Structure 1
Amino acid sequence: MKRIFLITLLACSWWATKAQNTVKMETMHADSAAISQILEKLYFKGIYEGDLDLLKQVYYKGTLLFGDVKGQPYAKTLDEYLTGVANRQSPKNSGKPFKGEVLSVRVTNSIAVAEVKVIMYDFVYQEYLSFHKIDGQWLLVNKMISDIAQDASSLTKDKVTKGGKKFNLIATIEILPGFEAAVKKAMVTMAAETRKEAGVELFLINTKKDSPQTILIYETYRSEADFELHKTLPHSKVFFEFVKGKIKDDKIGVNLLTGIDN
């Protein structure tokens, strides 16, 4: 009798464990599917359309973003990232190819990591996105990115062949009286760092002969994306902040150029 009872107990225990494992697996699959849906319907769509309302549904308010872009260190708070999205031309409006792809999602209880690839402008981002389930909702709490465009040689060649047009412009700065020396010194420092950028082919600074307060900058980038990247790099941001109150209307005039042979 005792033997029959023991066998029954072990059988019940085995079935209970199996049932628990089944429920756990089903929950993991459901969570993985939920995260994939968030990425497809909110994350990728928000990036493509430049829709902050969609993106704010994905991110936890304290999210930090780290990585590298075109070989340059990348570090932003969520507010800085969203401000950049708001002020740039969206991939949708740029007319350039865009693709967001979920490569994998791994879930462990209330945490998860998604590996995705985002192709936009002239960048190919490999991303690792950390999620945490907070009050029943999966939120992105940390974002790591790396621009692998140069590694994707076949894709890079295709981009150059189809649409890798150089981006040319002339920037004009009108210095306010009394700030000429300080602004010009800051300009020389920023120009030296700018010329080190991989996407910069020409960055030539001059002043008008009859107007030494006017700075003209001839700039050539490998692509429009390289120009957009230039504006976000630390040496550019330091310069933009420094010249506030020292240049006319706190604005840098930009005239886009098109080569006659294009």
Structure 2
Amino acid sequence: MSDEQAISAVVHLYVDGMAFANEAALRKAFHPNASIVGNYEDSVEWLDRDAFIAAVVTEGSAPPETQPLMEVEMIHITGDAASVKVVDEFGGSRYTDYLSLLKVDGRWLIVNKVWHRHA
């Protein structure tokens, strides 16, 4: 599997994990020390991986027949670092996510997510 294919698989795991409140998928996609950052209700929200996963699980799963929106607009890879821009939907809102990934022990993991919620 190429690096681009492996990164795409992590992004799919992330989007499906969010859409279906799949804690195991999200834990597999994110590094344990990952940061999730965005503006929420006029203030910057900084979450660690566990707080982010808890928020996703609290929001709950989309119906099982749902096909999650996922538009990967960009993947840039330089050695063991990568950046991905993905548009997705969660909790009835559309987001643009900028994901930073790092290859750790041969596996690509999301180490940082910066998000924008579209109005």
TM-score for both structures, normalised by structure 1: 0.42
| 2:25 counterpart (45, 49, 54) | 54
Q: Give the number of equivalent residue pairs.
A: 119
The Cα of 1:110 is off from its aligned counterpart by 0.5
The Cα of 1:115 is off from its aligned counterpart by 0.4
Deviations 1:179-210 (A, max 9, x none): xxxxxxxxxxxxxxxxxxxxxxxxxxxxxxxx
Aligned to 1:169: none
Alignment-mate amino acid for residue 32 of structure 1: E
Aligned to 1:109: 79
Contact kept, 8 Å, 1:116 with 1:128, in 2: the verdict is yes
The reply on whether 1:142 has 2:112 as its aligned counterpart is: yes
| 1:124 counterpart (90, 94, 98) | 94
* 1:31-110 equivalent positions in 2, closer than 5 A: 31-40=3-12, 42-69=13-40, 71-92=42-63, 98-110=68-80
Distance 2:38 2:84 in 1: 16
Distance 1:116 1:32 in 2: 14
Say if 1:139 and 1:113 are closer, same or farther in 2 by CA, change over 3 A: same
The Cα of 1:73 is off from its aligned counterpart by 2.3
Contact kept, 8 Å, 1:96 with 1:121, in 2: the verdict is no
The Cα of 1:121 is off from its aligned counterpart by 2.9
- Larger Rg belongs to: 1
Say if 1:97 and 1:120 are closer, same or farther in 2 by CA, change over 3 A: farther
The Cα of 1:118 is off from its aligned counterpart by 1.0
Aligned-residue CA RMSD (Å): 2.2
SS in 2 for 1:50: coil
Distance 1:137 1:97 in 2: 26
More helix by share: 1
Gaps of 5+ in 2: none
Contact kept, 8 Å, 2:38 with 2:115, in 1: the verdict is yes
Contact kept, 8 Å, 2:32 with 2:49, in 1: the verdict is yes
Alignment-mate amino acid for residue 92 of structure 2: D
Distance 2:44 2:74 in 1: 25
The Cα of 1:71 is off from its aligned counterpart by 4.3
Say if 1:96 and 1:138 are closer, same or farther in 2 by CA, change over 3 A: closer
Distance 2:93 2:54 in 1: 19
Deviations 1:11-48 (A, max 9, x none): xxxxxxxxxxxxxxxx9xx21121012212x1111111
Contact kept, 8 Å, 1:127 with 1:143, in 2: the verdict is yes
The Cα of 1:122 is off from its aligned counterpart by 3.0
Alignment-mate amino acid for residue 36 of structure 1: S
